[in-house]
Amino acid sequence: MNRDLQHDTMRVYQVLVDLREDWGGGLVLCCGPGCANTGVPTAVSIAGGATLAVDSDGAAMKSAMRAGYLDFVVNSLDEALRTLKNEIRQKRPLGVGLIVDVDVALAEMVERGVQPDLQLVPLGSSDLSSPKIETLRARGMAHSVLPMLNHFGQSYCEYFFAAPGAAALREIDAALLAALPVGDAVRRRWLERVPRYLREARSGGRWTWLSEEELQSLAGRGFSPAPQP
């Protein structure tokens, strides 16, 4: 299991839910080399939203689809928008990869008035200029996200629970879910959906956020996080 990719995905998910708790019906644009393999489309799907990932590297995009990070890969903006339209209207998660030059795609989106709710663009790329779009610079994002989730007026720290196999991880996930308040949709959504949308997260261990009280409760039941590197 790629522990770092799960962690990266969790950090992106944290950014998303800080902006908007439920991304159902929302569209996130990410673009640039390898963008589909960064955890962004996976995090958006876990948050309930739709992703349009734009990259001219067809091999990388198809690899991301085989890994489950994207649901479809297409070669034109028309195809991408047709695929996304109904899922966005139905507020269902979907990841679509568009194999085309990034600047060409961005220019066509501006011309057609396509306005994603959030865009992640690499440094030096063209911007979509619109007051409705908040732009995060992808290279700076990973360094600016704090390893703490603020939710329900509390702060939760990151922890990793190692698991020797898939069965052990299912036990850990069940214990983690049992430790969370029933109404905590943000953290419950993460634990419930990450095995579905990130295949690497089905064994090896689980990243999540916990309060000190929750951590102590889990320790009393025999579940303790791995030492942090």
CATH classification at residue 75? 3.40.50.10730
- Cross-strand pairs, 155: 150
Write down the H helix ranges in the chain: 3-19, 40-47, 58-67, 77-89, 102-112, 138-144, 166-179, 185-197, 212-220
The pLDDT of residue 127 is above 50: no
CA distances from 184 to 13, 48, 189 (A): 15, 15, 8
Percent of the chain beyond pLDDT 70? 84
pLDDT at res. 120: 74
Residue 171 lies in a domain: yes
Residue of 209, 216, 214, 191 lying closest to 149 (CA atoms)? 209
In this structure, are 108 and 61 located in the same domain? yes
The whole-model pTM stands at 0.87
pLDDT at res. 151: 64
In this structure, are 161 and 140 located in the same domain? no
In this structure, are 48 and 135 located in the same domain? yes
Determine contact, residues 64/37, Cβ cutoff 8 Å: yes
Number of domains in the chain: 2
pLDDT at res. 134: 43
In this structure, are 200 and 181 located in the same domain? yes
Residue/partner pairs of 128-132 with CB below 8 Å, 24 or more apart? 128/29
In this structure, are 23 and 126 located in the same domain? yes
pLDDT at res. 121: 55
Instruction: Please state, in angstroms and rounded to a whole number, the distance separating the CA atoms of residues 194 and 183.
Output: 18
CB neighbourhood size of 97 (10 A): 28
Instruction: Please state, in angstroms and rounded to a whole number, the distance separating the CA atoms of residues 201 and 215.
Output: 21
pLDDT at res. 153: 65
In this structure, are 59 and 106 located in the same domain? yes
3-state secondary structure of 173: helix
- Tell me the pLDDT tens digit for each residue of 57-107: 999 999 999 999 999 999 999 999 999 999 999 999 999 999 999 999 999
pLDDT at res. 125: 42
- Cross-strand pairs, 154: 151
The pLDDT of residue 15 is above 90: no
pLDDT at res. 3: 58
Domain end residue (candidates: 105, 122, 144)? 144
- Which residues span the domain enclosing 127? 3-144
Between 135 and 157, the higher pLDDT residue = 157
Could you report how far apart the first and last alpha carbons of the chain are, in Å? Answer: 17
In this structure, are 124 and 160 located in the same domain? no
Q: Which two tokens stand for residue 164?
A: 């020797």
CA dihedral sign of residues 84, 65, 187, 10: negative
Residue 227 lies in a domain: no
* Position 182 confidence tier, pLDDT thresholds 50, 70, 90: very high
The pLDDT of residue 2 is above 60: no
